[in-house]
Amino acid sequence: MHRQGTMPDSFTSLHAIKACTSLSLVPVGRQIHAHLLTLGLHTHVYVATCLLHLYGASNLFQEALRLFDELPHKNTVTWNTMISACAKSHAPHQARALFDLMPHKNLVSWSAVISAYTQSGHPKQAVRLFREMQLSGLKPDEVSMVNVLTACTHLGALALGRWVHALSRRIGFDPPIVALGTALVDMYAKCGCLSSALQVFERMPRRNVLTWSAMICGQAMHGLGKEALDLFEKMKAMTCLIPNEITFTGVLSACSHAGLVNEGLSHFRSMEEEYCLKPWIQHYGCMVDLLGRAGLLEEAYELVKTMRISPNVIVWGALLAACKTHRNVKLGERVIDHILESKPSHEAMYPLISNIYASAGKWEEAKRVRDLMADGNIKKMPGCSLLEVDNVVHEFVVGEKLHPQIEEIKSMLDEMHKEVRRSGHKPDTSQVLYDIDEEEKEHAVGLHSEKLAIAFGLLSLSPMIPIRIVKNLRMCGDCHVFIKLISEAYNHEIIVRDRRRFHHFKQGSCSCQDYW
């Protein structure tokens, strides 16, 4: 058209920009934008909205914001597009500020801000805004319910997730369509109610590869390795769906949690040989974890050295954790040398290195690592546990002091410690990084966030209601033993989702069979 000398109008420009967005051709989109400036079409509301979508979809947030600010006229779609760009760029506060300034809001506007909060790790605000939307009289659609279910998943808020599920049925999404059903499966599985996840999964009239993957990953997280692999085989036999990278993350994770080394190696090879899928860093992390926890440390180390992509904190962390578990300080130190050469920015890596030295009694080396942390202003991520009681999510951090019932909680925790001591339990202080006396170490492990959350759960919940905890870090060995004893002493089921998997504690035993 240009070669023939015909000038574009707003209609042809709009579709050219849409084509650039579909093909991710940002440089061409910028050229079109520049050409539109010369023609005076850049402020046309529909054209500008398409440009906003191009920049937002390409993570060019500042360019999108600059264009938005310069527009003399904006319609509701323009505002919604800019809010969606904020969500994609993890700028929830900017999204909320724009939302509050909007002259006219619709369901898409609310959904976009809820999505912004969910995607950027602010699930409480997402849930709060969803409730505000209901109070405004708007009926939620599938998109808004998927977003709020994702927030419930992050919070581990099972009761709230059940309420959203019931709401979806009242609105008419029963049985749920694919995206909503997949979100429900994921929510129930990650909130510790695998039976409900399976029930939703089986009632869905249609499932896509993400639905199957969510169910496989859910079973893997709960330590049901063989069941997850059976479901994977069922998916291949019953559907024409092709497994993707997320599916294999669940499959390899299932093998790792169940200690199925040969099966894990076979599935890992099949990714490329059968499905032409290049392993992600998560897949390598699963394999290193699988080999490491099985005691095959040299094999795990060899895999890391031969990876096609540069190992990151997930991979090194899995290998270093295995070295710590199997008390292989010699290999651990070789791994530490590799890590320190790369100057890792991830704050979780340094405490793990210090742990290796501390567990071997090498306090000078442990102090050197702590000094590196201090010099780099690197702080250890504090332990945090979430517990839902009466539709309210309570947050506990290690050494909690701000909870309104903290004195009652501490009193209950003292009683719990006395109870487990009667059974002969002595706290495992090997996780404590500092060369301090044993009494101080016992105090340090005694105030871990999950112990505080359990104390509050015992105070607040009937023995018939399981205590469901979501923790941001991997549970330490002392807490694992402690919770087993508490579940028996108080005859109370306790479910903990840590960074790696679920632990179902009941009558003094754990679903992981102490293989974690």
User: Would you state the pLDDT for residue 434?
Assistant: 47
Contacts 24+ apart (CB under 8 A), 342-347: 344/313, 344/316, 346/312, 346/313, 347/373, 347/378, 347/379, 347/380, 347/381
Peptide bond into 175 cis (omega under 30): yes
Count structural domains, the chain.
Answer: 2
**363, 392: one domain:** no
Residue 51 CA to residue 42 CA, distance in Å, equals 9
**402, 484: one domain:** yes
User: Would you state the pLDDT for residue 437?
Assistant: 42
User: Would you state the pLDDT for residue 282?
Assistant: 92
**370, 438: one domain:** no
> Tell me, what CATH number does 322's domain have?
1.25.40
**376, 348: one domain:** yes
User: Would you state the pLDDT for residue 450?
Assistant: 93
Residue 228 CA to residue 48 CA, distance in Å, equals 48
Does residue 28 belong to any structural domain of this protein?
Answer: no
Residue 422 CA to residue 25 CA, distance in Å, equals 68
**361, 395: one domain:** no
Any idea which residue has 């599985």 for tokens?
A: 189
Q: Of the residues 381, 403, 431, which one is the last residue of a structural domain?
A: 381
Q: Of the residues 366, 381, 396, which one is the last residue of a structural domain?
A: 381
> What b/e readout covers 175-210, taking b as 16+ CB neighbours within 10 angstroms?
ebeeebbbbbbbbbbbbbbbebbbebbeebeebebb
Query: Which residue intervals of 326-362 are DSSP H helices?
Result: 329-341, 349-359
Please say whether the beta carbons of 216 and 247 come within 8 A.
yes
DSSP 267-328: HHHHHHHHH-PPPPHHHHHHHHHHHHHTT-HHHHHHHHHT-SS---HHHHHHHHHHHHHTT-
Does residue 273 belong to any structural domain of this protein?
Answer: no
CA angle 346, 349, 351 (to 5 degrees): 125
Residue of 507, 470, 462 whose CA lies nearest to 487 = 507
**353, 286: one domain:** yes
Please say whether the beta carbons of 146 and 126 come within 8 A.
no
**408, 377: one domain:** no
Does residue 82 belong to any structural domain of this protein?
Answer: no
SS3 category, 239? coil
Does residue 407 belong to any structural domain of this protein?
Answer: yes
Environment class of residue 12 by beta-carbon count within 10 Å: exposed (0-12), middle (13-18) or buried (19+)?
middle
Does residue 89 belong to any structural domain of this protein?
Answer: no
Residue of 239, 341, 241, 331 whose CA lies nearest to 291 = 331
From residue 123, how far is each of 115, 147, 149, 160, 393 by CA, in Å?
Answer: 9, 9, 10, 12, 11
Cβ-based neighbours of 491, under 8 Å, separated by 6 or more: 463, 507
Any idea which residue has 């199957």 for tokens?
A: 212
Q: How far is CA 180 from the centre of its chain?
A: 18
Does residue 374 belong to any structural domain of this protein?
Answer: yes
**328, 402: one domain:** no
**398, 484: one domain:** yes
Which tokens sit at 213? 């993957």
**372, 431: one domain:** no
**303, 391: one domain:** no
Does residue 5 belong to any structural domain of this protein?
Answer: no
**423, 322: one domain:** no
Does residue 439 belong to any structural domain of this protein?
Answer: yes
Which tokens sit at 315? 């991979």
Domain holding 345, by residue range, is 279-381
H helix and E strand count, the chain: 26, 6
Q: Of the residues 333, 361, 381, which one is the last residue of a structural domain?
A: 381
Q: What is the DSSP letter of 495?
A: E
Residue of 160, 424, 484, 54 whose CA lies nearest to 184 = 160
Mean pLDDT by 10 residues, the chain (516 residues): 83 89 90 85 84 89 89 90 91 93 92 92 93 90 93 92 94 90 96 94 95 96 94 93 96 93 96 94 93 93 91 83 84 79 63 73 76 67 87 85 90 92 72 44 64 95 93 87 94 92 93 83
Which tokens sit at 220? 């893997």
Could you give the maximum distance between any two Cα atoms of the chain, in Å? 91
